[in-house]
C-alpha cells in the first residue's frame, strides 16, 4: 500500500514538474525573446487577450502541485529509510534534499515574486488598452519578475541534476557531522547569492548589476546554470571526500 502511494506521489510530481518547468522554459526561451522584438500593440494584445494569463495559470499551479507532491514524497521516503538521521546518512538523501531545497526556492519565486509582478504588468496593459495610463511601477515590477524567472531557469539546471543523481549517480557519500554542517553552510551561502542577485537591487536593464546582465540572455542563463551545477557538485565532492 505504501509503495503504491509513493508511486502515485512520484508520478504526479513528475507530471506537475514537467508542466511547471515546461512553462518556465516557454516563457524564457520563447515568449520573452519574442516580446523583445515585437511591436507594443502585439505585446499588449498577447497580454490582454488571455494568452499570458492562461500560461501563468498552468505555470504557477504546476509549481504548487510539484511543491506539494515533492515534499509529501520526501517525508514518506524519510520514514521508509528509518528517520531523518538514516536518511541523511545516504547519498540519495542528500541529493534529493538539495534538489528539493532548490525546487522550493523556485516555488517561492513563482508565487511571491514572479506572479505578483506579472499581475501588475497585466493590469497595467489592460489599463493602457482601455485608454488609461500605465501603472507607474509596472515596468520595474516586470523587470524584477523577469530576472527572477531567469534565475529560476538557472536554478532548474542544478535542481534537475541532483534529482536525477539521487537515484542514478551516488557521486558522493556523507561523512562526519562537521562535513555535513559545512556542506549546508556552503550550499545556503551560494543559494543566497543567487537569490539576492534576483530580488535585491535595481532590475531595470540600464541599472542592472553584472549578475543580472548575465541573465539577460538565454545563453548567459544556461551557461550560469551549468557553472552553478559544477560548483555545487565539486563543492560537495570536496567537502564529503
Q: Are 153 and 28 in contact (CB under 8 A)?
A: yes
C-alpha cell recorded at residue 213: 546582465
Question: CA 66 to CA 110: how far, in whole Å?
Answer: 12
> Structural domain of residue 54, as residue ranges?
2-240
Name the phi and psi angles at 177, rounded to 5. Answer: -60, -40
Residue 147: which of 103, 200, 223 has the closest Cα? 200
Residue with cell 489599463: 127
Query: What confidence score (pLDDT) does residue 204 get?
Result: 73
Cα 77 vs. chain centroid, distance in angstroms?
A: 23
Query: What confidence score (pLDDT) does residue 180 get?
Result: 79
C-alpha cell recorded at residue 166: 539521487
DSSP letter assigned to residue 135: P
Cα 208 vs. chain centroid, distance in angstroms?
A: 20
The alpha helices in 27-176, defined as continuous H runs, are 32-37, 40-48, 51-80, 84-87, 91-109, 115-129, 138-168
pLDDT per residue rounded down to tens, the chain (241 residues) = 667 888 899 999 999 999 999 999 999 999 999 988 888 888 888 888 889 999 999 999 999 999 999 999 999 888 888 888 888 888 888 889 999 999 999 999 999 999 999 999 999 989 888 888 889 999 899 999 999 999 999 999 999 999 998 777 776 666 777 877 888 898 999 999 999 999 988 777 667 778 888 898 999 999 999 999 999 888 877 776 6
C-alpha cell recorded at residue 34: 519574442
| Residue 182 neighbours by CB distance under 10 Å | 15
Question: CA 198 to CA 200: how far, in whole Å?
Answer: 6
Query: What confidence score (pLDDT) does residue 171 get?
Result: 67
Number of domains making up the chain: 1
CA distances from 194 to 67, 147, 236 (A): 20, 11, 18
Query: What confidence score (pLDDT) does residue 205 get?
Result: 65
CA distances from 34 to 2, 134, 168, 194 (A): 46, 22, 37, 26
Amino acid at each position: 500500500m505504501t509503495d503504491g502511494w509513493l508511486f502515485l506521489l512520484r508520478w504526479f510530481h513528475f507530471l506537475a514538474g514537467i508542466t511547471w518547468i515546461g512553462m518556465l522554459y516557454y516563457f524564457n526561451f520563447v515568449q520573452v525573446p519574442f516580446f523583445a522584438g515585437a511591436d507594443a500593440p502585439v505585446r499588449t494584445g498577447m497580454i490582454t487577450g488571455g494568452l499570458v494569463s492562461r500560461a501563468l495559470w498552468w505555470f504557477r499551479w504546476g509549481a504548487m502541485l510539484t511543491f506539494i507532491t515533492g515534499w509529501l514524497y520526501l517525508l514518506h521516503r524519510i520514514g521508509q529509510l528509518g528517520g531523518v538521521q538514516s536518511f541523511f546518512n545516504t547519498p540519495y538523501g542528500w541529493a534529493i534534499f538539495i534538489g528539493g531545497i532548490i525546487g522550493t526556492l523556485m516555488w517561492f519565486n513563482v508565487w511571491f515574486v514572479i506572479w505578483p509582478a506579472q499581475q501588475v504588468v497585466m493590469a497595467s496593459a489592460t489599463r493602457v488598452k482601455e485608454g488609461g495610463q500605465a501603472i507607474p511601477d509596472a515596468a520595474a515590477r516586470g523587470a524584477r519578475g523577469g530576472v527572477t524567472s531567469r534565475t529560476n531557469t538557472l536554478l532548474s539546471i542544478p535542481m534537475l541534476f541532483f534529482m536525477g543523481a539521487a537515484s542514478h549517480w551516488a557521486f558522493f557519500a556523507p561523512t562526519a557531522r562537521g562535513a555535513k554542517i559545512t556542506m549546508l553552510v556552503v550550499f545556503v551561502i551560494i543559494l543566497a547569492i543567487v537569490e539576492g542577485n534576483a530580488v535585491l537591487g535595481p532590475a531595470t536593464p540600464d541599472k542592472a548589476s553584472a549578475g543580472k546582465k548575465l541573465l539577460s540572455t538565454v545563453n548567459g542563463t544556461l551557461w550560469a546554470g551549468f557553472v552553478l551545477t559544477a560548483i555545487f557538485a565539486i563543492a560537495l565532492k570536496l567537502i564529503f571526500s
